[in-house]
Amino acid sequence: QIIALQRKLLEGKGSVSHQEAIEKAEREFNIYRQREMAQLESDFDKMVKRLPKRGHNSSNKE
Protein backbone atom coordinates (compact mmCIF):
# COMPACT_ATOMS: atom_id res chain seq x y z
CA GLN A 1 0.00 0.00 0.00
CA ILE A 2 1.36 3.40 -1.01
CA ILE A 3 0.32 6.53 0.83
CA ALA A 4 0.93 10.01 -0.59
CA LEU A 5 -0.64 13.28 0.41
CA GLN A 6 -2.59 11.47 3.12
CA ARG A 7 -4.44 9.39 0.48
CA LYS A 8 -4.15 5.71 -0.34
CA LEU A 9 -3.16 5.31 -3.98
CA LEU A 10 -3.16 1.56 -4.51
CA GLU A 11 -5.66 -0.90 -3.16
CA GLY A 12 -5.69 -4.44 -4.49
CA LYS A 13 -4.18 -5.64 -7.74
CA GLY A 14 -6.52 -3.71 -10.03
CA SER A 15 -8.68 -4.95 -12.86
CA VAL A 16 -6.78 -3.73 -15.93
CA SER A 17 -4.10 -5.95 -17.42
CA HIS A 18 -0.73 -4.60 -18.45
CA GLN A 19 -1.61 -5.13 -22.13
CA GLU A 20 -4.92 -3.29 -21.76
CA ALA A 21 -3.12 -0.38 -20.10
CA ILE A 22 -0.57 -0.23 -22.93
CA GLU A 23 -3.32 -0.27 -25.57
CA LYS A 24 -5.27 2.48 -23.80
CA ALA A 25 -2.14 4.62 -23.48
CA GLU A 26 -1.43 4.23 -27.20
CA ARG A 27 -5.01 5.18 -28.13
CA GLU A 28 -4.92 8.25 -25.91
CA PHE A 29 -1.51 9.26 -27.27
CA ASN A 30 -2.81 9.00 -30.85
CA ILE A 31 -5.73 11.28 -29.97
CA TYR A 32 -3.31 13.74 -28.37
CA ARG A 33 -0.97 13.63 -31.38
CA GLN A 34 -3.83 14.32 -33.82
CA ARG A 35 -4.94 17.29 -31.72
CA GLU A 36 -1.39 18.66 -31.60
CA MET A 37 -0.89 18.24 -35.36
CA ALA A 38 -4.14 20.09 -36.04
CA GLN A 39 -2.91 22.93 -33.85
CA LEU A 40 0.47 22.99 -35.62
CA GLU A 41 -1.21 23.20 -38.99
CA SER A 42 -3.43 26.06 -37.92
CA ASP A 43 -0.45 27.95 -36.45
CA PHE A 44 1.42 27.42 -39.71
CA ASP A 45 -1.55 28.64 -41.73
CA LYS A 46 -1.80 31.76 -39.56
CA MET A 47 1.85 32.59 -40.18
CA VAL A 48 1.55 32.02 -43.94
CA LYS A 49 -1.35 34.47 -44.06
CA ARG A 50 0.84 37.08 -42.36
CA LEU A 51 3.54 36.84 -45.02
CA PRO A 52 3.60 39.57 -47.67
CA LYS A 53 1.80 38.52 -50.83
CA ARG A 54 3.89 38.12 -53.98
CA GLY A 55 2.61 38.54 -57.51
CA HIS A 56 2.39 35.67 -59.97
CA ASN A 57 5.18 37.19 -62.07
CA SER A 58 7.64 37.09 -59.19
CA SER A 59 10.23 34.53 -60.12
CA ASN A 60 13.88 33.97 -59.47
CA LYS A 61 14.99 34.85 -63.02
CA GLU A 62 18.41 36.44 -63.28
Q: By the 8 A CB rule, do 10 and 2 touch?
A: yes
Percent of the chain with pLDDT over 70: 74
Segments making up each domain of the chain, as ranges: 17-49
Mean pLDDT of the chain: 81
Q: State pTM to two decimals.
A: 0.48
Give me the pLDDT at residue 30, please. 97
Give the sign of the dihedral formed by CA 15, CA 27, CA 22, CA 2. negative
Mean pLDDT calculated for residue range 20-44: 90
Instruction: Decide if pLDDT at 43 tops 60.
Output: yes
Give me the pLDDT at residue 41, please. 75
Give the integer Cα–Cα distance in Å for 57 and 54: 8
Beta strands in 1-62 (DSSP E): 3-4, 7-8
Q: CB within 8 A of 8, min separation 6: which ones? A: 1, 2
Instruction: Decide if pLDDT at 29 tops 90.
Output: yes
Tell me 57's DSSP state: T
